[in-house]
Every structure is written in structure tokens, then in C-alpha cells.
């Protein structure tokens, strides 16, 4: 993610550690774990928290590509993988807030990778 020209500008910190911590806390809470995310940051309000960012289909698909790689790395059971992947796809699609091209990225770099979004 740190090298992705579309996604990196959405993370103002040089170190992506704080963003990774926020995502971890959010996912822990979403899946029934500790409520640390809400205790520290309030209600998740995903759309509100992402509206300031340029989340177009290109950004969505890039994020999903990185998340698919991460899921493949942890090798969850097929049932857990499918459940988690379904959630990530639905969440990512719900956060798209523009169809304008990604700023600073040429047309040749704006592509939609094959993520198997229908599976």
C-alpha cells in the first residue's frame, strides 16, 4: 500500500502503522472482539470517515487487491476466507464516492484488476 500511487495519498502518515492499527481495531470490533475502536475513535461511520478521500472504482479495486493478497498470506479456512472477503468487497463498494479518475495517475495506470468480484 505504501508504494501504491493512488492509495498512499489517502494515508497522511509517513508510517502506515497507525492506519494498520486503526484497521485492526475496526475489524476486531466488527467481528465481535474488543470495542477498542469505538472507545478510542467513536462510531466507525465508514462513509463519513472516507468521504474526504478520492475513492473511485480504481482506488476500491487497488485496495481490494492489497486486501486479497493479505488474506491469501494468512490462509484462513475456506469458510472464514469467503466470509471475510465478502465483507471486504461489500464495504469497499459502499465507500466509492466518485467516478472521476484518480488524480496524478495516467490513464494507462488506471485499471481494474481481475479480483473475481463475483465469486
Name the residue range of residue 76's domain. Answer: 8-109
- Asked whether residue 94 is assigned to any structural domain, the reply reads yes
CATH code at 48?
1.10.490.10
- Asked whether residue 2 is assigned to any structural domain, the reply reads no
Classified as helix, coil or strand, 99 is coil
Task: Kindly tell me the burial class for residue 92, based on how many C-beta atoms sit within 10 Å of its own C-beta (0-12, 13-18, 19 or more).
Answer: buried
> Considering its fold, how many domains does the chain have in total?
1
- Asked whether residue 119 is assigned to any structural domain, the reply reads no
How far apart, in Å, are the Cα atoms of 21 and each of 17, 96, 102? 6, 22, 26
- Asked whether residue 116 is assigned to any structural domain, the reply reads no
Q: What is the pTM of this model?
A: 0.82
- Asked whether residue 118 is assigned to any structural domain, the reply reads no
Residues in the chain: 119
- Asked whether residue 60 is assigned to any structural domain, the reply reads yes
Residue 103 gets the label, from left (phi > 0), alpha (psi -120 to 50) or beta, of beta
- Asked whether residue 58 is assigned to any structural domain, the reply reads yes
Mean pLDDT of 14-34: 92
Note the pLDDT of residue 119.
Answer: 39
Model confidence pLDDT, tens digit, residues 45-72: 989 999 999 999 999 999 999 999 999 9
Model confidence pLDDT, tens digit, residues 92-115: 999 999 999 988 776 656 555 555
- Asked whether residue 30 is assigned to any structural domain, the reply reads yes
Amino acid at each position: 500500500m505504501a508504494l501504491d500511487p493512488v492509495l498512499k495519498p489517502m494515508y497522511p502518515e509517513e508510517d502506515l502503522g497507525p492506519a494498520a492499527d486503526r484497521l485492526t481495531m475496526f475489524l476486531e470490533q466488527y467481528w465481535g472482539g474488543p470495542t477498542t475502536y469505538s472507545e478510542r475513535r467513536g462510531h466507525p461511520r465508514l462513509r463519513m470517515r472516507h468521504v474526504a478521500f478520492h475513492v473511485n472504482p480504481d482506488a476500491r479495486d487497488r485496495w481490494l487487491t492489497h486486501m486479497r493478497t493479505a488474506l491469501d498470506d494468512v490462509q484462513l479456512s475456506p469458510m472464514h476466507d469467503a466470509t471475510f472477503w465478502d465483507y471486504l468487497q461489500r464495504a469497499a463498494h459502499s465507500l466509492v464516492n466518485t467516478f472521476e479518475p484518480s488524480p496524478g495517475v495516467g490513464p494507462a495506470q488506471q485499471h481494474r484488476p481481475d479480483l473475481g468480484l463475483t465469486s
